[in-house]
Amino acid sequence: PNPTRHPPFGQRPLPQEKIDYAVVAMDYVATVFAGAAAIRAIYSVVRSQNKSTEVEIRITPTKGRVLSISSSVVYGYVGNKASTFPMQVMGFDVDPINSVQLSNHTGYKNFKGEKLEGKKLEELYIGLEQLNLDSTYTHIMTGYLGKESFGDEVASLLLKIKKKNPSVTFICDPVLGDDGKLYVPECFVSLYRDKLIPHAALVTPNQSEAEWLSDIK
């Protein structure tokens, strides 16, 4: 970071002798710090200058609300497990729905877990709808979708949300495979190409996925 624009946090005097709350702007955190170490560093500085005061750090998202539909693992960082915290650090409120819940990435020899059926996604959406949350999303992001029924329900959910909020931004990672090998059912190619990508503001395929979706090599 530019030291002129962002002087080291610990070297700047705090604006008042005693602080009850340290409200940290998300833009500042995202620019100067990274990850959980940022929160610990800020807490340490504030606490050291206010030894008699309990300090609470509140992070207030201001940039929008993301519905993130992707995979998740217990061990490791892929899908929602990898993307949720960075988006929160950037100032977004994130509501993750896990298409699969696995013990670890499938690149390992062994893994356990389950894939969510489309019916379960429908139930989750109904719950959000009953709280009027479905109309609050500024962004929808999809990654690995797992089962065919789940993918079909994602397409249905997307249309419902866009009907309520036409300005919602849809970001689609068409997770199909890599190195010329599919690791989802072949029907997902047409699902992405015909039902999801036409509504996307941003699509992020790798080379193999771009070839399958465009039918151009």
In the three-class reduction of DSSP (H, G, I as helix; E, B as strand; rest coil), residue 21 is classed as strand
Question: Is the confidence at residue 56, as pLDDT, over 90?
Answer: no
Gyration radius (Cα) of the chain, Å: 21
The per-residue pLDDT for range 113-171, each reduced to its tens digit, is 999 999 999 999 999 999 999 999 999 999 999 999 999 999 999 999 999 999 999 99
Answer yes or no: is 1 within a domain.
no
Question: Is the confidence at residue 25, as pLDDT, over 50?
Answer: no
Closest CA to 100 of 153, 158, 145, 149: 145
Number of structural domains, the chain?
2
Based on the domain organization, do 42 and 111 belong to the same domain? Answer: no
Whether 76 and 148 have beta carbons less than 8 Å apart is answered as no
Which one is predicted more confidently, 59 or 101?
101
Answer yes or no: is 31 within a domain.
yes
Q: Return contacts of 179-186, CB within 8 angstroms, 24+ apart.
A: 179/208, 180/208, 181/208, 182/212, 183/106, 184/144, 184/145, 184/146, 185/148
Query: Any idea which residue has 């008699």 for tokens?
Result: 52
97 alpha carbon, distance to own chain's centre: 9
Based on the domain organization, do 103 and 181 belong to the same domain? Answer: yes
CA–CA separation, 34 and 25 (whole Å): 14
pLDDT band, very low/low/confident/very high, at 105 (cuts 50, 70, 90): confident
Tell me the CB-side half-sphere exposure of residue 199, using CA atoms within 13 A.
25
Which one is predicted more confidently, 117 or 15?
117
Q: Which two tokens stand for residue 87?
A: 């988006």
Based on the domain organization, do 155 and 137 belong to the same domain? Answer: yes
Tell me the CB-side half-sphere exposure of residue 140, using CA atoms within 13 A.
26
The per-residue pLDDT for range 163-206, each reduced to its tens digit, is 999 999 999 999 999 999 998 999 999 999 999 999 999 999 99
Question: Is the confidence at residue 101, as pLDDT, over 60?
Answer: yes
Kindly provide the residue ranges of all beta strands, DSSP E only, lying in 45-131, ordered along the sequence: 56-58, 64-73, 92-102, 113-115
Its domain, for residue 125, covers 64-214
pLDDT band, very low/low/confident/very high, at 3 (cuts 50, 70, 90): very low
Question: Is the confidence at residue 10, as pLDDT, over 50?
Answer: no
Confidence at residue 46, expressed as pLDDT on a 0 to 100 scale: 53
Answer yes or no: is 3 within a domain.
no
Whether 148 and 187 have beta carbons less than 8 Å apart is answered as yes
Based on the domain organization, do 23 and 71 belong to the same domain? Answer: no
Question: Is the confidence at residue 207, as pLDDT, over 90?
Answer: yes
pLDDT band, very low/low/confident/very high, at 48 (cuts 50, 70, 90): low
Give percent of the chain with pLDDT exceeding 90.
Answer: 65
pLDDT averaged over the chain? 81
Query: Any idea which residue has 């959910």 for tokens?
Result: 157
